[in-house]
A and B are shown apart, each in its own frame.
Chain A
Amino acid sequence: MQLQQYAVLLEPLLTQAAGYARSILRIRADAEDAVQQAALRGFERIHTFDENRPFKGWWFAILRNCCVDLLRRSKSAAAQGLEEVDLPASPSPETLDWQQLNSAMNRLSEDHREILRLRYFADLSYRELAETLGIPQGTVMSRLHLARNALRAQLGDGT
């Protein structure tokens, strides 16, 4: 696959990728770095992409690894234990919403947190979730359902 073709496939994923990376890394600049790194790493490993499988699921698995690598390297945010988010000067209630959602997800088990992040921040389909997480689609269905219940319990039924 040529760089041009790869760029065409990647283009529609970038905005959601940034949101997904931000949900893990919290800091906007770090999220951008992770997406950049995943974009380059994806092309470097393009020969491992099976065209019969969803590109989005394959590439988000790479992005997920880049986020985990970056999270390990940038100890500062984790050490501070703070959600260091670049809030506007006077945050609107809407701006706080994604942080509340993310905080609630952070209180869930890793399996539940991961599938919810990929579903809501990255907008992955069941087939893409199965590809990214390396699990069968049937497991995606049941895990996502349980994860939603757990999230609803965290946020209250009002959501």
Chain B
Amino acid sequence: MRCGLPALLCGALALGLAGCGEGEGVDDGDRELTVLAAASLTGTFTELAAAFEEAHPGVSVRLAFDSSATLASQAVQGAPADVLATADAATMQDAVAGGAVPDGARTFATNTMTLVVPADNPAGLATFADLDAPGVDYVLCVETAPCGAVGATLLAAAGIDAAPASLETDVKAVLAKVAADEADAGLVYVTDATAAGEAVATIDVPDADAEVLDYPIGVLEQAGDADLAREFVDLVVSAEGRAILTRAGFGVP
């Protein structure tokens, strides 16, 4: 057994280890700011980070996008980061309660939900209520994620009984399933629909405005450079930041 299992596993392990330790080389004088942001902020925060780097020469912004709950629990566990931005108040509240956001958080954006269908709308949906038609495969976030909790409320309010085909763990997974035409429809944020552009078509959700999600942002307890972190938050709530957020479909308070 020359080319056996152990040899291959060892090879795989070596590859894995070689991957560690990247991105740790910071030049002297260079400062680094790490921002944890909800998945739905991917586009806007990438833009905001570029604007921040431009305004602060020598500073590089590292962005980590994940579900709000994951990021909040990472922040409480002391993940090395400076700023946390979540997609709902509840997950931020968990982080505040866990002592990760000592100065509290402020709302910088709002979002509502919409229904997206693949560009050619294979199931021929015209209204939100059509989700109840037989044979429609729609996807939703799990209820533990903000998008899932709001989505379930909207479905219940519209009296839709049909069960979704799948409960995705975050909103990007919902959008991906619809954009790839694997599902007939999905409930996502207005901003996700805007970002997806031509890949999807949107259908208005009745009373979507009744379920507005607040996006809070705060400086983390473990921030290496709290002043720099505060400056980033200032940029997000500045006129420039608001313009970037509005262009992506967010509401601003």
Real complex partners, A and B?
A: no
